[in-house]
Amino acid sequence: GYHMVGYFSKEKSCMEEYNLACILTLPCYQRRGYGKFLIAFAYELSRREGRVGTPERPLSDLGQVSFRSYWTRVLLEQLRTVRGDVSIKEVSDATMIRPQDIVDTLQSLGMIKYWKGTHLIHADPKSVQEHLAKIPLQAMIDVDPTCLHWQPLQTQPQRKRP
């Protein structure tokens, strides 16, 4: 039968970029990939909304580790398919990960440089492959977008902040 392994909460209408307010994996199901599945699920909802997202702050220590691990895997997979230069905005649009989270994650991997007032992704295929090789081979529970029957809340268009 079915078992509850965890949950997450999401605000229906959030003026911030938060795509996840709270996440919990029950202790007996931790370290089995369910937390990353819930994170991936939240980002798939962001994709449906057409909004880049980030978790609500502050993150717990375990939350920081979980999100950094998820972002690292997703960003490296994205950069593995890239040929030539790519901007942070392009990576953000492809992954729905907030640009600052991309910058922070790639800085921790030594794959981003700051030059003349802008961040530049420095991800040659060899370094991407080396970082991917360091990620533990753990069975990932993928989100199948075709199985998601959900429509985002229709709200008034948001005004751009100055």
Whose tokens are 């202790």? That residue is 27
Helix axes 34-49, 61-80, angle to 10 degrees: 60
Rg (CA), the chain: 16
Is residue 130 part of the annotated active site? The answer reads no
Is 44 in contact with 143 (CB distance < 8 Å)?
A: yes
Residue 38's nearest CA partner among 62, 58, 14 is 62
Instruction: Determine which one of 16, 17, 56, 90 is catalytic.
Output: 56
* Residues taking part in catalysis: 56
